[in-house]
Amino acid sequence: MCGIVGAVSSRNIVPVLVQGLQRLEYRGYDSCGVAIHRAAVVGGAVAPAGVGLQRARSTARVAELQTQVTQDQLAAGTGIAHTRWATHGAPAVHNAHPHFSHGPGADAASRPARVALVHNGIIENHDELRAELQAKGYVFDSQTDTEVIAHLVDALYDGDIFQAVRTARSRLHGAYAIAVFHKDEPQRMVGARQGSPLIMGVGEGGGEHFLASDAMALAGVTDQIVYLAEGDVVDVQLGRYWIEDTNGQTLTPAQRPVKTVQAHSGAAELGPYRHYMQKEIFEQPRAFGDTLEGIEGIAPELFDGQGEQPAAAWRVFKEIDNVLILACGTSYYSGCTAKYWLEEIAGIPTQVEVASEYRYRTSVPNPKTLVVTISQSGETADTLAALRHAQSLGMQHTLTICNVATSAMVRECALAYITRAGVEIGVASTKAFTTQLAGLFLLTLALAQAKGRLSADDEARHLKAMRHLPVALQAVLALEPQLIQWAEQFAQKDNALFLGRGLHYPIALEGALKLKEISYIHAEAYPAGELKHGPLALVTSAMPVVVVAPNDALLEKLKSNMQEVRARGGVLYVLADADSHISASEGIHVIRLPEHYGTLSPILHVVPLQLLAYHTALAKGTDVDKPRNLAKSVTVE
């Protein structure tokens, strides 16, 4: 995925680039770097010929890059910067962006760099292009697919960087957003996007211009944003810019309007918390309350479209006869939970698919399907591609549950529900998940209403239960000291098993995901009835088994499954609720959630699992907010 930021200005742009990188670290943090054109001197003038490109790169975090930049006294009006999530080539300095091209020849490295380039995405034909460029004498310094683009642009350059990028674009297969400049054009930068996000920012007075992966990178710098479309190439200069579409047509301002976007800086204060994840877990009562604010009753209008081709939800809800949910990661598990609600309460057949699988399999399209994408970021490449795939199959009724109102997902879906979790910084998703569940429960009720399955009494009862949830969540958060005790034991383990049944099976899946992604303990989740069909073979006294056990229709069956574990010496960690009637005894640890919450109980039961993962990671000393190898927003497939 990676994050990109670039600028052409008459002021020193390096602080803006470094700050932008800090805000883009959620897209990856394996390495980072910045390159400037030293001829674009501060004040808007151009230095005499001979002053060239300079860069600083680091495999540490952006804070370390800042130190390097200060030591090297990097300052210029033109620059690009990048934070990386490694796809091709290990996270090492020589693979860090920006990549330079010094031109062809074995001695090229001794000559000044000619092209500086940053890239987000994957170039699928990089091997073929590398061979071609090597045959022309280009020497490669990295294992990245990105360096191929830098050399390709250099090979095609004939005095006009815009033309070179335009031509290079036709040779690239795969996904990319790039920002690039050339040594001979100090006050010019070119951007292009295909399959990866890129926006342009117009600075004060229209004099300076920016490129970035998202508007958040430019928060506080400019709120005047142009969303580039697939295939766009943008020429960014001091005081002017123009955009061409994929067919080479110059676009008018009406075709790519400048929008005022209030992006959060993301630089939220930690307050009394040690990590963003902990803060975000504790923000859930507030986030849930905000998500419900202003909702007086259930109405399809809550889901009316906000995108490029908005639709009226009531009309769509009347027409559809099934739901297809597409999502990745934690968002996928919120979809799995919603399936139970949609089928039980709204009586609508529902499928949930991992977006990266759906987009490549042959499925049977049904135009009466409501395609629901769920995404915190609204930029996940696989989910966006799955949405577009569904649309290409003739399914035009699309809805997204999304946390970012300005995202591609919201723009591309006919209907939307914006969760109000606020900016989520910790890579492990927490408050986004519970607010997605809030949105999905409201969707269930709205669909039930459209299908004549929601009485006024039921509506009032469900809304009352939802409104009480912030208080109930607070009571669950108060269980933290007990979860710290469990976490101390989990931190000694190599494996863990999570069990749930029905509505709480997806919660067990989410609990296992949380534990593995931040504490690196191998964790798997099973519907408890499946235990005897395989995973029971793993159960010994060294295997902690977490059981999500509220009092529901399957509780007695779950208790039998727990006996199966105890009989093999497995140690149980049970999350019961006020009505579960499970007591602690030898080999059975119990934490009792204060209330019994019925249909909405997944929203409460996931919280102790988040706390368990958090405190286990803390006990193990891992990087909680930035776990190894992961990223917050995954904009490559």
Among the listed ranges 81-89, 105-113, 324-332, 578-586, the one in contact with ligand G6P (CB under 6 A) is 324-332
CA distance 6 to 116: 11
Q: Specify whether the CB–CB gap between 71 and 35 falls below 8 A.
A: no
C-beta of 327: minimal distance to ligand G6P in Å? 6
Of 340, 334, 363, the C-alpha closest to 431 is 334
The question of whether 413 is a catalytic residue gets the answer no
DSSP conformation class of 624: S
Q: Give the nearer residue to ligand G6P in terms of CB position, either 79 or 439.
A: 439
| Residue 19 binds ligand G6P, judged by CB under 6 A | no
Q: Give the nearer residue to ligand G6P in terms of CB position, either 2 or 236.
A: 2
CA distance 164 to 166: 5
Q: Specify whether the CB–CB gap between 633 and 379 falls below 8 A.
A: yes
Contacts (CB under 6 A) with ligand G6P, residues 418-447: 427, 429
C-beta of 336: minimal distance to ligand G6P in Å? 13
Among the listed ranges 14-22, 193-201, 266-274, 626-634, the one in contact with ligand G6P (CB under 6 A) is 626-634
Q: Which of 117, 199, 328, 408 binds ligand G6P (CB under 6 A)?
A: 328
* Crossing angle (nearest 10°) for helices 456-477 and 431-450: 170
Q: Could you tell me which residues come within 8 angstroms of residue 539 by beta carbon, excluding any fewer than 6 positions away?
A: 497, 545, 565, 568, 569, 570
CA distance 325 to 335: 6
Distance of CA 55 to CAs 52, 167, 403, 428, 534, Å?
10, 26, 35, 32, 54
**Total of chain residues touching ligand G6P, rule CB under 6 A:** 15
C-beta of 386: minimal distance to ligand G6P in Å? 11
| Residue 350 binds ligand G6P, judged by CB under 6 A | no
Contacts (CB under 6 A) with ligand G6P, residues 358-387: 375-377, 380, 383
C-beta of 375: minimal distance to ligand G6P in Å? 3
Contacts (CB under 6 A) with ligand G6P, residues 125-144: none
C-beta of 409: minimal distance to ligand G6P in Å? 8
Q: Which of 130, 169, 389, 632 binds ligand G6P (CB under 6 A)?
A: 632
| Residue 601 binds ligand G6P, judged by CB under 6 A | no
Q: Which of 284, 634, 635, 636 binds ligand G6P (CB under 6 A)?
A: 634
CA distance 253 to 250: 10
Q: Which of 331, 400, 430, 551 binds ligand G6P (CB under 6 A)?
A: 331
Question: Do the strands 199-202 and 188-194 form a parallel or antiparallel pair, or are they unpaired?
Answer: unpaired
Catalytic residue among 2, 32, 328, 336: 2
Tell me phi and psi for residue 431, to 5 degrees: -70, -25
Sheet arrangement for strand 588-592? 522-527, 495-500, 544-549, 571-576, 588-592
Among all residues, whose Cβ is closest to ligand G6P? 329
Q: Would you give the end-to-end CA distance of the chain in angstroms?
A: 9
Catalytic residue among 183, 339, 626, 632: 632
Q: Specify whether the CB–CB gap between 545 and 539 falls below 8 A.
A: yes
Q: Report how many helices (DSSP H) and strands (DSSP E) the chain contains, helices first.
A: 18, 24
| Residue 630 binds ligand G6P, judged by CB under 6 A | yes
Residues identified as active-site: 2, 632
Which parts of this chain interact with ligand G6P (CB under 6 A)?
328-331, 375-377, 380, 383, 427, 429, 630, 632-634
